[in-house]
Amino acid sequence: MEIQTKEIIGYIKELVHIPSPSGNTEAAIGYMKSFFDRNDVSFKTTNKGAVIATIKGEDDKKHRLLTAHVDTLGGMVKEIKSDGRLKIDLIGGFYWNTIEGEYCTIHSTNGKIYTGTVLMHQTAAHVYKGMNDLKRDEKNMEVRVDQEFHSRKDAEEAGISVGDFVSFAPRFEESESGFIKSRHLDDKASVAILMHIIKQIKQEGIKLPYTTHFLISNNEEIGYGGNSNIPNETVEYLAVDMGAIGDGQATDEFTVSICAKDSGGPYHFGLRKHLVDLAEKHDIGYKVDIYPYYGSDATAAIRAGADVVHGLIGPGIDASHAFERTHVKSLKHTADLIKAYLLSPLV
């Protein structure tokens, strides 16, 4: 099973262009269902709208589960202003300054789609003195819709209403030097890696040692994507999500991140050590790190009472929850570690 990063990047590009803020992920989940169908992988949809695929292994008494999430950060129309512009409420944990100037799409409840731009109300430098000192927050930020709206009534008659979802343009780019820049690499980069590995397992007829489930969750950004629908036979639960980069962090864009602890406490030491041993055995570049302001679907599962060994790995992502970037090397090292893990004994 040789990892093909071009295919992973192709999946990332397709995924990030499917709008899927938490709460409005049907299109992305539909994309995953089609993928599983094409690759003859059995799956079921959960009541919460996630999808869980299963590949039977030699041991069907003890199972593994890997998860990654297709839901992303986004917004929701909070108010239609008197001039037809929109105030939005944020979906997921991020800051207003990270979306200033970003193109967006308003998904009206009646099915109509409108484009716009997220801006400070006081953006015009020739009009607003001291605009640079104003706080980027829900009071000052708004969506300028690309329609001839002069009033709240104009927007309402066009079908826009409070509760409509707002998604942000991904701006995907792949550089010649191997960098992938895009919004929503959290966590669509990890989903793409799992897709590539699943396809290889099916095409090459690889027999896994244990029955393995792949949960594509759809509510991770709001805290409860993978805390249910865990088969009773599951003994190991591995979340595949981004590694965050910043001052004081070991994680980089060129290796796989293995998380030792996040806001929910330490991950299972035995599983973490097992992952490190696999990385060293297979010459996989890795970094062990701690994320104090981070929570994964594995954390959510443990908090919900799941009796599993839990872990977290993922590609290193720069500028998390903003305009993100990773490198092809990190994608490959993450895929190589997942491959080695799937073929290894249980902890």
Residues assigned a catalytic role: 220
Whole-number CA gyration radius for the chain: 21
Q: DSSP letter string over 23-60? A: T--HHHHHHHHHHHHHTT-EEEE-TTS-EEEEE--SEE
Q: How many CA atoms does the CB half-sphere of 203 hold within 13 Å?
A: 9
What residues contact 236, with CB distance under 8 A and at least 6 apart?
63, 64, 65, 271, 308, 309, 310, 311, 346, 347
Element holding 185 (H helix, E strand): helix 185-204
Q: How far apart are CA 163 and CA 109, in angstroms?
A: 8
Task: Look at residue 289 and give its three-state secondary structure.
Answer: strand
Omega of the bond prior to 164 within 30 degrees of 0, cis? no
